[in-house]
A and B are shown apart, each in its own frame.
Chain A
Amino acid sequence: MRLHHLHLARPIPYVHSLRLQEALLERHFADKAALRKDASLTSVAPPPTLLTFQTNPTYTVGRRHLNANPLSASQISFLTGNKEAQNDTSLATFYPSPRGGLLTYHAPGQLTAYLVCNLRTHNLTPRCYIRLLENTVMRTCAHHGVPNVMTTDDPGVWLAERSDSSVEEMADGTDCPAGTSVVPSGATPTSRKICAIGVQVSRGVTSHGIGLNVHDTPIQGGVAVEELYTLPKGNIYTEDLGTEYMQAPSTTQLEDSTILAPGYLSWGFSRIVACGLQGKSVTWLSREQQHAQEEQGVQATQPVQSTKDLTLERVADSLAIELARSLKIEEGDIDNILEEDILDVERPSWETLRILSDKTGKEAPEMDLGKQYRFRDLRQDTGMRILGFEDNTGSSS
């Protein structure tokens, strides 16, 4: 069995990841439907496919959150930083999502990784699959100098209090196949979360996955710090708008003190109670790697070297290797694929869209691409029921 890995080097709009996922899911569903009609056919479903990428700043929210606390227009406006100005450029985008979990954030500096695979092929239950993903992430962190990580009942991967324990594998006494559990002995979690997890399973095929924070990439484009931290007019915090999920942007959310040059991650996460978990904060690999090295008394020159090694691409590669190991696939059987391998002619690759957009100066949904390309409302096709939010542009692509 092979593992396909598509790594996108430059940040993409979040919807593009959905487009790629949808293409893969459709192939799986079509294959299943065909096999159901004629069991003698050979399966032509794609192999497990890992998509790794960074997105432009975006908030995504699961339906569990939306149902309990439908987000109001003001809240969404706050998240996206919509301004009354003529050039209404949002600071972030916002999407409801059918995956499990609550409210989270993706941005440059975070390695977002989605895995589309047929659980039946790997003989996994959703519960064991989650554990497999968590273990894969933990081993990836360990590979990059941050071994003190663990999981709890709360979603995600957390930093553990430093101890002599290291990441090791053992059977955890449940019904998951042996080797899919990684438990640092006697570890207690800190309140720092390094990776978020939220998965969807549809007809036995997985989608979505994890968001592993790597760097707090400084915010580009000359946005003034004050602007990033200004409360919108009318101060929505005085209204009762589900403030357990949102909060005034502050630096107390982060363990480090003052943020002089906010990065995408520190800024974006500081404005929400990520994953609905109060009192928790967010961290990233480069910072934890530095802590780990400081504690071990490593010399000053070495951290610089390691930070250079800590590129999104390297972490993506490590993740793919660890994932192959989890799925019992040989490392040599990992194929690095291109977007064209996933998208068919009727759906343009992101590169094509970008070139056309540069030429016409228009956003993708407004481009007239002729009959050759079709844009579809993802919500209708994937059967997602979106509660409490309608996309203003009228299209989700």
Chain B
Amino acid sequence: MASRCAEDVHDETSLYDEFATMTTRIMVKKYTEEHEWIEMDEGGKIGTMGITEYAAKALGDVVYVELPEVGMECNKGDTIGAVESVKSASDIMSPVSGKIVESNEALSDKPATINKGPEAEGWFAKIEVQDQSELEGLMSKEEYDAFEKD
């Protein structure tokens, strides 16, 4: 196309933003042995959590999600909710200690979102991290991939 319409410019800009965010994401996303992930925001205080691609596949179609209450305080390893298929329920553990600041309410209406994008739009909850050093003990993507292949 000869001319560039407003939309083209918009797409270019958003692609750049995405790239920038992607780079940041790769640096701060951590994984647990229970197949959960946590991704810190730019401020380094709030982490978004969810279950991994592997866990979502292992579970099957999600039909119900039990989300944590906002304001709930939890320790690392505490059960904060669950993800259910028709026949089974899998507990979700918090990868770090802290306070839940947001739950992904969209999952109440559309639990299948977890299957579509478990590490993106299917995020589970956001937590205000109490102790940053707990993140050190979690696995990086490479470590998790190796772990999961075992």
Q: Is the CB of A199 within 8 A of B79?
A: no
Question: Which residues on the A side are within 8 Å of B33 (C-beta)?
Answer: 36
A126 on interface, CB distance cutoff 8 Å = yes
Question: How many chain A residues have a CB neighbour from B under 8 Å?
Answer: 30
Instruction: Choose one: B64, B86, B88; the contact of A201 (CB below 8 Å).
Output: B88
Question: Which residues on the A side are within 8 Å of B60 (C-beta)?
Answer: 126-127, 130
Q: Is the CB of B87 within 8 A of A155?
A: yes
Q: Is the CB of B66 within 8 A of A201?
A: no
For window 195-213 of A, CB contacts with B under 8 Å fall at 197-204
Instruction: Choose one: A98, A129, A154; the contact of B89 (CB below 8 Å).
Output: A98
Q: Is the CB of A125 within 8 A of B89?
A: no
CB-based nearest A residue for B68: A385
Q: Is the CB of B91 within 8 A of A203?
A: yes
Q: How far is the CB of B85 from chain A (nearest CB, A)?
A: 6
Q: Is the CB of B87 within 8 A of A203?
A: no
For window 206-242 of A, CB contacts with B under 8 Å fall at none
A33 to B77 alpha-carbon distance, docked (Å): 10
0/1 string, B55-87, CB within 8 A of A gives 1? 001111001101000000000011101101111
CB-based nearest B residue for A154: B86
A193 on interface, CB distance cutoff 8 Å = no
Q: Is the CB of B64 within 8 A of A199?
A: no
Q: Is the CB of A126 within 8 A of B91?
A: no
Q: How far is the CB of B61 from chain A (nearest CB, A)?
A: 9
Q: Is the CB of A63 within 8 A of B66?
A: yes
Question: Which residues on the A side are within 8 Å of B90 (C-beta)?
Answer: 126, 200-202
Q: Is the CB of A383 within 8 A of B87?
A: no
Given A36-B33, A67-B66: A99 and B89 within 8 A (CB)?
yes
Q: Is the CB of B79 within 8 A of A202?
A: yes
Instruction: Choose one: A63, A155, A203, A385; the contact of B86 (CB below 8 Å).
Output: A155
A48 on interface, CB distance cutoff 8 Å = no
Q: Is the CB of B88 within 8 A of A200?
A: yes
Given A36-B33, A202-B79, A203-B34: A125 and B87 within 8 A (CB)?
no
Q: Could you tell me which A residues sit within 8 Å of B by CB distance?
A: 33, 36, 62-64, 67, 98-101, 125-127, 129-130, 153-155, 197-204, 382-385
